[in-house]
Structure 1
Amino acid sequence: MIYTILYTKKAIEYIQNLKAAKLADKAENLCKSLTINSMPLNSKKLYRNLVGKRSIRINLQHRLVYEIKKL
C-alpha cells in the first residue's frame, strides 16, 4: 500500500530549521520511506499526549513524529 504524506504548517517551519542543521535530506529520505512502509522497525509508538503517533530518530537531537490516518 502506498501512503500520502500531508505536512502541517508547523512541520514546514521545522523543515526550515532542519535545512539550517543540514538534516533536511535525511528527513526527506525518511518521509519517502514512510510512503512505502508506514511502520518501519526503527519507529517507536508514542504515549501520553502523543498517543496515536509514532516517531523515527533523524539523529540524537531530532526526531520525525508522524501519524497514520485513513482517508
Structure 2
Amino acid sequence: MRHHLFPIGLSVRLKNRANISPRAAESYQITAKLPLRDNSPQYRMRNDELGQERVSNEDNLEPIDELTSDN
C-alpha cells in the first residue's frame, strides 16, 4: 500500500496539463490528503489567487522548488 509523499501546504504543479483549460492555474497548494484511488494517493489542492480547486493523483504532481522563485 502506498503512502502520501507530499505534505499539506506544499506548492505543486501538474505534470500533465492535457485536457485542462489554458486559463487554469499553473501552481496549487495542497490542502488535503484524500484516500487512495486504485492504489494511488490523491490530493485536494487550491490556487487562492484564481480561486481554483482540483483533485489530482500523486503521479501527476511535482513539487515547486520555492528557492528558485526567490532568486
Structure with higher helix content: 1
TM bucket normalised to smaller: 0.3 to 0.5
The structure with the greater share of residues assigned to strand is: 2
Higher RCO, 1 vs 2 (CA within 8 Å, ≥6 residues apart): 2
